Structure 1
Amino acid sequence: MRRRRPLTRRGVAAIIAGLLCMIAANLLAAPILLYIAMLLFLLVIIAVFVVHVPRRSGGVSRRISTDLLTVGEQSQVAVRFDLRALRVPNGTWRDALPSAVVGDAAGEFPTDNGTNIRYAITGVHRGVWPVGPLLLRTIDPFGFSQREQEFGDTRTVTIVPEIVPLAPINSNVGASGGTAHTASTRLGQGSDNLSPRHYVSGDSMRRIHWRATAHRGDLMVRQEEEEASPDALVVLDRTARRWERAGTGSDPAFEAAVSAAASVALHLVHEGYSVDVLDSAGAVLGSLRGHEDDRDSLLVALAMVTPRGEGRDLISLYDGAPPGPVVMITGRIDEEDAALLRHGGASAPILLASDPLPGTLDAAAALGWSSATLGDDVASAWEDALPARVTTGSGHVPR
């Protein structure tokens, strides 16, 4: 961080004016100018002494109202500045902010609340970024000398991708919601969900379902079922060649893809699915089972994800049987790449590509994918890709 000079522009001007007065005093034989020069030098020396000699120390603690700051979301930062000095100096304060957040982190010191400072920040770019240190700048009453001193350490702020509300998956793709289409395992004993079935030889008489027996006229027994939430899979394609700016900074297309991955995963959890979020190499970015900690862990992982490496075949990412919905989020993809995207019998394969080349969506549709182009509007792309909107002929919504 660039250090400020000990003298302000006014202080430098006072020194220059003093030198000119000394020269003029000798040339014009005017002693009064020499006195003026000495006075200017003395004032500058006193100003430097007043500003720089007093010892100041202190601690800084920051509290951000939101643990995870979403892109576009505003949060409040409360700074407690414990300054130890002979007197509280008058000056200006400034908290060093990264380029990933914007906010008015500067003001007069001391503030209306004394040494307690508050300001608002807004997330701009996802990632983990440092906030701080706090800088206190003081100037003497004449404005000749200045001092800028850092206090406290930095505190990191985690900016996670934007979460966009999405339309529900239509029921004609096999699930109108995970909880509405749970898989059942017959147990024969237990105390989970009860459903009647016909009596077979060997069933205990204690398990007879008398109400169902009276209703149907046949002997019925209780059949217990154990519910298990269906699985969904979200794959974020991080393959470097899919993205134009891999490793060179922020890529708007990749940022939209990360936002889509987070939004789709949380949306499917809301619909009742157990969701695994993987990258194209098979690394687990998050597993969502309806817990708040799962959500935060996923968002933190997505806050730091970048394009890199190569991907694997999609089917090789499955753990066992094919899941229900499979959402593949990728970047630049051509017709040949799409022809290799086998979904392995997933009930609702959905493809979102930020830069599909001509013929790509048709090739994907031929394999059963419901696809759409992913732009800045994640919600619109998701709605276009929903299987309920797929036309019978081409396999994707005409654009």
Structure 2
Amino acid sequence: MRLNSVLLPLLTFTVLAMQLLDPSKIWQALIAAFGGLWLMTGLWAWSLKAHLRLTREVRFTWAQVGDALEEQFTLVNDGPVPATWVEIVDHSTLPGYSAARAIGVDNSSTTTWHTNAVCKRRGVYELGGTTLRSGDPFGIYSVEIFLPEKTTLVVMPPVIPLPTVEIMPGGWMGDGRPRPNIMDQTVNAATVREFAHGDSPRLIHWPTTARRGKFYARQLDGAPASDWWIALDVDANVQAGEGWENTVELGVILAASLADRGLRARHPQEVGLLASGTQTVWLKPQSGERHRLEILRSLAMLEPGQLPLAEMLDRAGPTLGNRISLIVITASIKPDWIPALTHLLWKGISPTVLLMDPSSFGTPQNADALAVVLAELGIPRFILNRSLLQQPEAHPGKGQWEWRITPSGKAIPTRPPSDLTWKRLG
């Protein structure tokens, strides 16, 4: 509670002094007017300070890029005087979002309103705190109330379709050919064929045999459903682009999309994540929805670091194991990390490289020369560019909602979240 001007107290004390020096009804009237106004505004401001309360509530504390954020505000004034004006100052850090507004509330009254925004950028942000500013109608006193209640909002990266990217299955280079008699129980059946002499009885596919009246055997694809390790290079020295259209954001979206694809596949893989950010991310391969959200949360918080890709691959090599699929996502067009990748290839790790073309982000270099080097080594490689950040088929963000994506790329909500209750900040 702050006195905005000393003029009124000064006038009050001045006329009081004049009354003491030269008593008069005029000075008495002025003392009553100025002193009464001073007392009234002081009590008014004190009432607002004691009786104004604001409650902020939010439905969800995490979302995906494209999700809608909705907050509910409840302003209560249970005092005897109205708040003719209340300025609400929002200290939230979510880009493009502010709940600030000016509003009034009568005495012994409550007013409620909602604010909406679209989560446009991945990251970890704070919703709240809040400052209330008000005062008496004459502007003599002002009141400022700080409400520290806040909560953390995690905005996860979007997931986009990547139909042209095929991941090399785990195993030695050249593995993956259909083999008629392999007995590995961890492989997946690719198709069925007529039973041939020498086939193991364990390969008989009984449903097809019963349906067609003769023996059919499963033809297995010859390579186990291997773990995926996604290695995302966010070395700040090799990135291109400006603002939020840069290779870091593209790499994060690619990693999120591949993790989502692997964990939601018909024969899901266990997916792990490596990233060389300000803090190294190492999430060992697992499956399940909880692990998918953990990967997305780690990607949401990822910031560029100083660890080169070659050093990250060297450090990670002993922890990766053998016969796994390694997906390298990088904007580095220098071949200095190729020896580290080749060393992993000799261990039986099957690499797939996703090159983010820096030329599409306005730099003179391109990824073609490095793609030729990878082709000579027989390593699958895909060149991806800035257009993926702008494609209309990108998912709008799933968050707590369930969506169905049509063949044209349109997202249709199929099921709302089960818990739509408001949760107070704090």
- Cα shift readout 1:351-387 (whole Å, capped 9, x = no counterpart): 225477736531243213534364474366x99xxxx
- Counterpart contact for 1:96–1:134, Cα < 8 Å: yes
User: Which residue of 161, 178, 182 corresponds with 1:166?
Assistant: 161
Q: Which residue pairs with 1:127 in the alignment?
A: 123
User: Equivalents in 1 of 2:249, 2:324: separation in Å?
Assistant: 28
Q: Which residue pairs with 1:238 in the alignment?
A: 234
User: Which residue of 38, 59, 62 corresponds with 1:44?
Assistant: 38
- Counterpart contact for 1:350–1:371, Cα < 8 Å: yes
Correspondence list, 1:243-258, <5 A: 243=239, 252-258=246-252
User: Which residue of 322, 331, 334 corresponds with 1:320?
Assistant: 322
Structure 1 374/57 Cα, relative in aligned 2: closer, same or farther at 3 Å?
farther
User: Equivalents in 2 of 1:210, 1:236: separation in Å?
Assistant: 43
Structure 1 350/170 Cα, relative in aligned 2: closer, same or farther at 3 Å?
closer
TM-score (norm 2): 0.61
- Counterpart contact for 1:164–1:378, Cα < 8 Å: no
Correspondence list, 1:142-291, <5 A: 142-151=138-147, 153-161=149-157, 163-169=158-164, 186=183, 197-198=195-196, 212=209, 220=215, 229-243=225-239, 252-272=246-266, 273-274=268-269, 275-280=271-276, 283-285=281-283, 287=285, 289=287, 291=288
- Counterpart contact for 1:95–1:131, Cα < 8 Å: no
CA RMSD in angstroms comes to 5.2
User: Equivalents in 2 of 1:267, 1:194: separation in Å?
Assistant: 22
- Cα shift readout 1:84-126 (whole Å, capped 9, x = no counterpart): 8444742425252333331334342439x93444212343543
Which amino acid is the alignment partner of residue 110 of structure 1?
A: V
- Counterpart contact for 1:234–1:327, Cα < 8 Å: yes
The structural deviation recorded for 1:52 is 1.7
Q: Secondary structure at the match of 2:126?
A: strand
Q: Secondary structure at the match of 1:133?
A: strand
Q: Which residue pairs with 2:298 in the alignment?
A: 301
Q: Which runs of 5+ in 1 are unaligned?
A: 176-180, 384-399
Q: Which residue pairs with 1:372 in the alignment?
A: 383
The structural deviation recorded for 1:75 is 0.9
- Counterpart contact for 2:91–2:127, Cα < 8 Å: yes
> Which shifted more, 128-137 or 49-58?
49-58
- Counterpart contact for 1:232–1:276, Cα < 8 Å: yes
Correspondence list, 1:3-14, <5 A: 6-8=2-4, 11=5, 14=8
Q: Secondary structure at the match of 1:108?
A: strand
Q: Which residue pairs with 2:68 in the alignment?
A: 74
Q: Secondary structure at the match of 1:98?
A: coil
Structure 1 294/37 Cα, relative in aligned 2: closer, same or farther at 3 Å?
same
Structure 1 200/15 Cα, relative in aligned 2: closer, same or farther at 3 Å?
same
Which amino acid is the alignment partner of residue 59 of structure 2?
A: S
User: Using CA pairs below 8 Å that are at least 6 residues apart, which structure has the higher relative contact order?
Assistant: 2
Structure 1 208/357 Cα, relative in aligned 2: closer, same or farther at 3 Å?
closer
Correspondence list, 1:322-361, <5 A: 322-323=324-325, 326-330=327-331, 333-337=332-336, 339-340=338-339, 342=341, 344=345, 346=350, 348-352=352-356, 354=358, 358=365, 360-361=367-368
The structural deviation recorded for 1:337 is 2.8
Q: Which runs of 5+ in 2 are unaligned?
A: 170-175, 395-426
Q: Secondary structure at the match of 1:365?
A: helix
Aligned length: 354
The structural deviation recorded for 1:77 is 0.9
User: Equivalents in 2 of 1:39, 1:116: separation in Å?
Assistant: 37
- Counterpart contact for 1:182–1:230, Cα < 8 Å: no
> Which shifted more, 221-230 or 63-72?
221-230
- Counterpart contact for 1:174–1:347, Cα < 8 Å: yes
User: Equivalents in 2 of 1:170, 1:233: separation in Å?
Assistant: 15
Which amino acid is the alignment partner of residue 353 of structure 2?
A: P
- Cα shift readout 1:111-158 (whole Å, capped 9, x = no counterpart): 9x9344421234354332222234333322333222121346222222
Answering whether residue 121 of structure 2 is matched by residue 110 of structure 1, we say: no
Which amino acid is the alignment partner of residue 129 of structure 1?
A: Y
User: Equivalents in 2 of 1:254, 1:351: separation in Å?
Assistant: 12
- Counterpart contact for 2:54–2:74, Cα < 8 Å: yes
- Counterpart contact for 2:90–2:128, Cα < 8 Å: yes
Structure 1 200/216 Cα, relative in aligned 2: closer, same or farther at 3 Å?
farther
- Counterpart contact for 2:328–2:351, Cα < 8 Å: no
TM-score (norm 1): 0.65
Structure 1 62/145 Cα, relative in aligned 2: closer, same or farther at 3 Å?
closer
Q: Secondary structure at the match of 2:137?
A: coil
- What is the identity percentage for the equivalent residue pairs of Structure 1 and Structure 2? 15
The structural deviation recorded for 1:47 is 0.5
User: Equivalents in 2 of 1:208, 1:239: separation in Å?
Assistant: 50
User: Equivalents in 2 of 1:210, 1:125: separation in Å?
Assistant: 50
- Counterpart contact for 2:48–2:143, Cα < 8 Å: no
Structure 1 124/174 Cα, relative in aligned 2: closer, same or farther at 3 Å?
closer
